[in-house]
Structure 1
Amino acid sequence: MQDTRAINRNAVLTALIGSRPASRKQIAEQTGISAATVTRSIDQLLAEGIVTETTEIVSEARGRRAVELDIVADRMYVVGVDLGASNTRIIVADLLAHPVFASETPTPTTLKGNDLAEWIATTVRNAAADVWDRVAHVCLGLPGAVSQRDLSVSNAPNLPEVESPTFLASVERAMGRPMHFDNDANYALLGELHFGAARGAPNAAMLTIGFGLGAGLAIEGRILQGERGLIGEFGQLPIGPLGTRLEHLVTGGGILRRAAEAGLHLDAPAQLFAHEAGPGLQSLRAHFDQALLVVLTATTVSCDPQTIVLGGGIANSLTSSLDRYRIALEQNLRVSPALATAQLGDFSGAVGSVVAGLQTVYAGLGVEEAAIVHLPKGDALTAAEVARVRALG
């Protein structure tokens, strides 16, 4: 049980981090805690180095001046990593989600086991550089189903190295920092919920469609996670001829394979969606559309989302078709969520990894659990901010 002093301290910290900057009077009004108690809690947070008095002075009433308070942003950092079969994306951010580094680099898929784990850790340390000693948490998103029970990965055919039973433990040991692991689509949804296309939609879903199919589901802002990480693995549904998995009908590799089986040549999956596609490709496109409608329907009935966000290479070719898919959903279900493409682009997963890391750090600092799901707030990690930091190198 927490004592009253700790409860008040945490309530004051929660109020400040949710509505920063703020004066002592504003915090007292927001929390209902007495001014004297707020002052004592602020003094404690100042001593801990979590809060600082800013130089900006604001008027609260005639003849009275008050110092604004804010969080010490550079006290801690988190790192978000999105490990993909083609590229690895990394964002380093401070306690208020301001990015200080962002990068995209090819994933060395020729490395095996411990060597890949060491590469991830070394790349992250180099990314954090001078602030590595203040990195409090690292979150790593991976393709496939991530079991929180035994820290293992399954169903990751595009990056089979991560399915080694000891891979995640090797990464954590090499990193030397507290870590959390999850499916990349879950982190991508978390990023879009806080800084992208799903803001304002507490019930939301994310579909990542590229050379693999991933799905993340959220209810009231919380990502749904099963013990074995199988929630949202719609790609495993055997809906095609002779039990063909759904993933093979909508992903890039599946599109190329089915085109070859039909005697059609495609240089890239995106050609399937060209307006001038011939009759053979139109038939293949119709099969794709039907399979995608199954995915969208399964996603909708799984968590009744206000918004479904589509990301990944294939999703980039579907922008002009979103209204058509929405109408088809309405015909099937009488209702349809909004369909949107990912605002954060290829960095949705890395942004979501940062969000997950910050939420863990906030909990450790004493921020109230009910508030954490809504944090971080603001525009610190929008696509424009990530692009700006990437340009700085």
Structure 2
Amino acid sequence: MIAALLSGADMDRQRLIADTGLSRATVFRIVDDLMAESLALEGFRMLREGPGRQSTTVSFNHRSALVCGVDLGGTNCRVVVADALGRAVIRSRDTTPRGATADELAAWVAGKVTDLVSRHGDGVPLHTVTIGLPGVVTGDGRSVVASHNLGQIKGTGFIEKVSGLLGVETAVGNDSNLALRGELQYGSLPDRETAVLLAMGTGLGSAVSIDGQVLLGRTGLLGEFGRLPLPGREERLRDLLSGADLVAYARRQGVHVPTARALFADPEAYAPVLAEVHDALAHLVTVVALAYEPGTVVLTGGFSESFGTARLTAISDRVAEAVGVRSVVRRSDLGDSAGLLGSMATSLGRLYDSLGVSAEDAASVAVNRDLIVRRLAECPTAPTTPTAGPGGTGTTHTDDKAPHTRHDEQMAEG
């Protein structure tokens, strides 16, 4: 019954009877129970012709709980608090205090979430928090095996500390996996198509979904292609396809640029380095094409939007000619918001599970994807005020652009 209401639409009880296949008496009883538990709300009166009881619509109570998604990056930390239907209430973006210890960073993240909920949640209880981490996370979400950008989160200490401080159910996962979850839930990927996401931020991450499900390896090393060496070279794939490492590599070649995107801004001046980047991306797409035969390879994060459509089409053609697998290579629909939306979607899934809604039923809900993405883009941003964080200073940034647009260059490197 709850699953039938999760689209957020006002529904007539007669329609609920038709949609669920339950008897009239059962539907009316369940609706009364849901309203008694503040999970459903009475709506407007339905006008019917002829005899019989007049009916009112019913809707899911979006104020029954709040959920939170956190996208913790090596450069920036994004947070969104949303209602029980996934509609954003408040968001923030802060500079990650990279110099903080694991305990200090955990306290900083927990403090951000708690502050947003207490100041903007209007008294609605927080149910679940999901945190995307820039590192290798074990399949059970209990330990970080490695993190190229935030070494202090390695192990179990950070996860245990932040979970304890938040005081609510807290899920942790790899940021690339959660970004792909966001693309599947709110982007335009075909529901059952095999897809691969390549996240080129401060580091290089990847994720794969088969039949709509994101694959999770036991050790978390599934898809860590950035560790692979380039053919015949000492450099690894991440040295040319992640923001921080590409800048460092370019400087070793005598090319001094402040950001990876600066290389793409002047393709003629930096043609030799960019040719290496294009070759590295083609090699990576070749690897994932052979590993998974994806219909789509989605690029997100960092400087991914610097690759033009013509260039990505050429890479698709090159890979198809080399190994016989045709994968459409394109940029993300959701841009930097994919990870944040994926974290939020995971929190929503845990909320619905606690209400007895199966994952299969939740997946069948007709979610208004455009509305969710638009609400994230248009929802208020936490005030732009400096906030001191342990081990460093985290500055809150105003983030008033739509999910598919680019932010400043420093954010692009995160």
**TM-score of the superposition, structure 2-length normalised?**
0.84
Q: How do residues 178-327 of structure 1 correspond to structure 2 at under 5 angstroms?
A: 178-198=169-189, 200=191, 202-274=193-265, 276-278=267-269, 281-320=270-309, 321-327=311-317
Letter of the 1:309 counterpart = V
The count of residues paired between Structure 1 and Structure 2 equals 379
Between 303-312 and 199-208, report the one with greater CA deviation.
199-208
* Equivalent in the alignment of 1:4: none
Alignment partner, residue 44 of structure 1? 33
Instruction: Report the counterpart of residue 344 of structure 2 in structure 1.
Output: 354
Unaligned 5+ residue runs, structure 2? 384-414
Cα distance in structure 1, aligned partners of 2:102 and 2:10: 46
Range with bigger deviation, 110-119 or 304-313: 304-313
Alignment RMSD (CA, Å): 2.4
Q: Say whether residues 1:160 and 2:151 are aligned partners.
A: yes
The two structures have a TM-score, normalised by structure 1, of 0.88
Shift of 1:50: 1.2
Contact 1:201 1:307 in 2 (8 A): no
Match of 2:88 in 1: 99
How far did 1:263 drift? 2.6
* Offset at residue 22 of structure 1 (A): 1.7
1:149-179 Cα shifts (integer Å, max 9, x gaps) = 4711123111111114311101111111110
CA distance in 2, matches of 1:206, 1:60: 50
Secondary structure of the corresponding residue to residue 6 of structure 2: helix
Q: Distance in 1 between matches of 2:329 and 2:51?
A: 52
Q: Distance in 2 between matches of 1:89 and 1:122?
A: 13
Cα distance change, pair 93–159 in 1 and its aligned pair in 2 (3 A): same
Q: CA deviation at 1:238?
A: 2.5
Counterpart in 1 of 2:362? 372
* Residues 334-373 of structure 1 deviation map (CA, whole Å, 9 limit, x = unaligned): 4433333223222221111110000011011011231224
Shift of 1:322: 2.1
Q: Write the distance in 2 (CA, Å) between the matches of 1:240 and 1:117.
A: 39
Unaligned runs of 5+ in 1: 1-11
More helix by share: 1
Classify the secondary structure of the residue corresponding to 1:264. coil
The answer (yes or no) to whether the contact 2:191–2:211 under 8 Å persists in 1 is: no
Which residue number corresponds to residue 16 of structure 2?
27
Q: Does 1:126 find its partner at 2:106?
A: no
Of 69, 74, 77, which aligns to 1:88? 77
Query: Percent same amino acid at aligned positions?
Result: 30
- Cα offset for 1:15? 2.2
Query: Hey, what's the Cα distance between the residues in 1 that align with 2:36 and 2:69?
Result: 29
Residues 107 and 290 of structure 1: is their aligned pair in 2 closer, same or farther, counting only changes over 3 Å? Answer: same
Q: Which residue in 2 is equivalent to 1:340?
A: 330
**Equivalent residue of 2:81, what SS?**
strand
The 1:325/1:382 distance shift into structure 2, 3 A limit, reads farther
**Which one-letter code corresponds to 2:300 in the other structure?**
G
Assess if the C-alpha contact under 8 Å between 1:196 and 1:343 holds in 2.
yes
What CA distance in whole angstroms lies between the structure 2 residues aligned with 1:99 and 1:79? 9
What is the CA-CA distance between 1:87 and the residue it aligns to?
Answer: 0.6
